[in-house]
């Protein structure tokens, strides 16, 4: 291997076309965090990188580090995660998890905790475990230093009442008293799952998912692009 060649491991989190025949692969790598890799001729040839440049796939890649954008020379599949592609809800969840990981990882900055959480989530989805997959959200947010305050109300600054809402606009939880009538307080299992505790209840996990997607979208002040065209409720 030449001085300009390196081997990396990671997950494909986004792919976009580049020019008439190439693709740019956004790769969340163990070694360098989120990086762009140029896959030359990937659109023009079915044989080059055949079956490798899809979302969710874990790869070991060889790259050429010369130039502004590193070139993808070769790729070996470590985990194809074909189970995700069997059901539309699993595809949606995986796309949203990948977009979240992209947003929370700075370019060229290693983020091993976020990559670990994403890999665990995608493996869980591949096996049909929604609850374990959803647990990635608080872990990724915590790793990025963006996990909201969950034990103290951001309005009254108190913690004596149970929390009932997570408001992205003000970056934290709101207690049942401040939330007003008609808003049910969080149950203890839901509160714990929001903080990252293990959860084996699919209904609680789905609520955690909705709460954190709404929180992330409020922080961005726009919908997550991976949610466009899907019908799963956002709230």
pLDDT value at residue 23: 92
Burial of 118 (0-12, 13-18, 19+ CB in 10 A): buried
Q: Which domains does the chain have, with CATH numbers?
A: 5-80 (2.40.50.140)
Burial of 45 (0-12, 13-18, 19+ CB in 10 A): exposed
- 134 band by pLDDT with thresholds 50, 70 and 90: very high
Closest residue by Cα to residue 16 from 34, 43, 47 = 43
Q: What percent of the chain has pLDDT over 90?
A: 75
pLDDT value at residue 235: 42
Q: How confident is the model over 83-117, as pLDDT tens digits?
A: 999 999 999 999 999 999 999 999 999 999 999 99
pLDDT value at residue 229: 55
- Rounded to whole angstroms, the Cα distance separating 227 from 14 reads 14
Residue 144, pLDDT above cutoff 70: yes
Mean of per-residue pLDDT scores for the chain: 91
Q: What is the mean pLDDT of residues 65-75?
A: 91
- Rounded to whole angstroms, the Cα distance separating 72 from 9 reads 12
Give the alpha-carbon dihedral of 136, 139, 141, 147, to 10 degrees: 130
DSSP classification of residue 19: T
């Amino acid at each position: 291997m030449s001085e300009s060649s390196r081997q990396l491991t990671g997950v494909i989190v986004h792919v976009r076309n580049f020019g008439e025949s190439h693709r740019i692969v956004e790769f969340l790598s163990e070694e360098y965090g989120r990086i762009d890799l140029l896959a030359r001729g990937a659109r023009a040839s079915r044989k080059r990188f055949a079956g490798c440049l899809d979302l969710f796939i874990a790869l070991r890649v060889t790259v050429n580090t010369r130039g502004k954008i590193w070139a993808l020379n070769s790729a070996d599949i470590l985990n194809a995660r074909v189970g995700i592609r069997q059901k539309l809800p699993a595809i949606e969840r995986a796309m949203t998890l990948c977009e979240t990981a992209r947003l929370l990882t700075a370019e060229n900055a290693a983020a091993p905790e976020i990559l670990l959480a994403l890999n665990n989530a995608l493996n869980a989805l591949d096996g049909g475990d929604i609850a374990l997959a959803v647990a990635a959200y608080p872990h990724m947010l915590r790793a990025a230093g963006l996990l909201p305050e969950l034990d103290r109300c951001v309005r009254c600054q108190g913690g004596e009442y149970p929390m009932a809402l997570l408001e992205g606009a003000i970056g934290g939880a709101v207690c049942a008293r401040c939330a007003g009538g008609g808003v049910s307080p969080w149950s203890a299992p839901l509160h714990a799952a929001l903080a990252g505790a293990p959860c084996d209840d699919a209904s609680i996990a789905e609520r955690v998912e909705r709460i954190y997607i709404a929180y992330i979208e409020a922080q961005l002040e726009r919908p997550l692009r991976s949610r466009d065209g899907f019908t799963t409720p956002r709230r």
